[in-house]
Amino acid sequence: MNFGASPPSSDDSGMSSFVENPQYFCGIFKDKDMCVQHIKRQDIVLKWELGEGAFGKVYLAECANLSPDSDKMLVAIKTLKDANESTRQDFQREAELLTVLQHQNIVRFYGVCTDGEPLAMVFEYMRHGDLNRFLRAHGPDAHILEEVKMPPLGQLTLPQMLHIAGQIASGMVYLASLHFVHRDLATRNCLVGDMGEGLMVKIGDFGMSRDIYSTDYYRVGGRTMLPIRWMPPESIMYRKFTTESDIWSFGVVLWEIFTYGKQPWYQLSNSEAIECITQGRELERPRTCPKEVHCLMQGCWQREPQQRLVIKDIHSRLLALVKSPPIYLDILG
């Protein structure tokens, strides 16, 4: 199927709204060369749909002329549906941001395709899709979730969970070094691929909403959707987003990993979850979580932002745990 030969289906609902990250054009990014690569539409051949994101449908495709040493490459194509002026601007902004962000734990961005409609972004293809789905498909409830259709890899082991967490922490160390605040760190925004025998995890989404994960966001006012279950008290109460609020979210990501992708505060409604978080209640220690990892979570969930752990320390502590997991990890695993 040639790109463009596949119009968006008529059941496409409107764009979800999202909270913009005001840093896209500020600070360090102002000085960076934001020359977004352009990819010819004729070089892209769509294969099938992978999912639906904030901007529109995501497809698996083959792309020619991307790299001098390979003829064709598998890529993920994010299309922009309902391109009005405002969504075009969001699209352009995300493309410019992604051009600047280059790290082994940030999804690789190849460029945009803008000769004709729909507008599209071209990314490296991450075979196992988003991390939340992946965790659920490799957890104890995989058989009762639709993810059972995915290839069986068995239940994730503790060393694998630590490895996943370490890679996300590595991506966050990089973002923090650029003073970039993510604002929506969650497993749904990470992607999973293969790396030799092991798993490769990358931060893969910098927009701020998902149609398929809309229950993870709480609509406050007209357009604003907030991932309140991942937010610390100061972000919920004062909309203050900082490197320290990203650390809080990282703690929640750890919790998601060690619960095989449960929704934080799944037993509570949005307003009950807000009440709990602002009153200082903590998510419970997951059953399969070693005490060292629970300590990390608690270090991320200090009420006072300055008291929270810093991402460099979290990263090195996770690397140390990956290298020499405590003995009981093996017993649990």
Q: Is 130 annotated as a binding residue?
A: yes
Q: Which residues neighbour 292 within 8 Å (Cβ) at sequence distance 6 or greater?
A: 317, 321, 326
Q: Which residue is nearest to ligand AMP (CB)?
A: 53
Taking the least distance from each CB to ligand AMP, the nearer of 123 and 241 is 123
For residue 182, what are its two tokens?
């993510």
Q: Which residue is it, tokens 């945009």?
A: 112
Q: Which residues bind ligand AMP (CB under 6 A)?
A: 50-54, 58, 76, 78, 107, 123-126, 129-130, 191, 204-205, 210
Compare residues 1 and 28 and give the one whose CB is closer to ligand AMP: 1
DSSP, collapsed to helix, strand or coil, labels residue 106 as strand
Q: Is 128 annotated as a binding residue?
A: yes
In this structure, the strands spanning 70-79 and 57-67 are antiparallel
184 in active site? yes
Confirm or deny that 78 is annotated as ligand binding. yes
Q: Which is nearer to ligand AMP, 53 or 261 (CB)?
A: 53
Exactly one of 184, 211, 216, 330 is catalytic; which is it?
184
- At its nearest, how many Å lie between ligand AMP and the CB of residue 83? 15
DSSP, res 38? B
The single-letter DSSP state of residue 299 is H
- In the complex with ligand AMP, which residue's Cβ is closer, 188 or 308? 188
Give the closest residue to 235 by CA, choosing from 223, 220, 255, 254.
Answer: 220
Residue 287 counted as an annotated binding residue:
no
Query: In whole angstroms, how close is the CB of 309 to ligand AMP at the nearest point?
Result: 28
H or E segment to which residue 158 belongs: helix 158-177
125 is in an annotated binding site: yes
Distance CA 79, CA 68 (A): 25
Question: What 3-state class would DSSP assign to 219?
Answer: strand
What is the distance of C-alpha 71 from the center of its chain? 29
Helix (H, G, I), strand (E, B) or coil at 210: coil
User: Is 57 annotated for ligand binding?
Assistant: yes
**Nearest distance in Å: CB 204, ligand AMP:** 6
Enumerate residues 6+ apart whose C-beta is below 8 A from 164: 131, 156, 192, 199, 201, 257
* C-beta closer to ligand AMP: residue 129 or 325: 129
Taking the complex as a whole, the smallest distance from the CB of residue 66 to ligand AMP amounts, in Å, to 14
Name the percent of the chain in helix, strand, coil, to the closest 5: 40, 20, 40
- Could you tell me the smallest distance in angstroms from the CB atom of residue 142 to ligand AMP? 16
Binding positions for Mg(2+) = 189, 205
Binding positions for ATP = 51-58, 78, 124-130, 188
Catalytic (active-site) positions: 184
Binding positions = 51-58, 78, 124-130, 188-189, 205
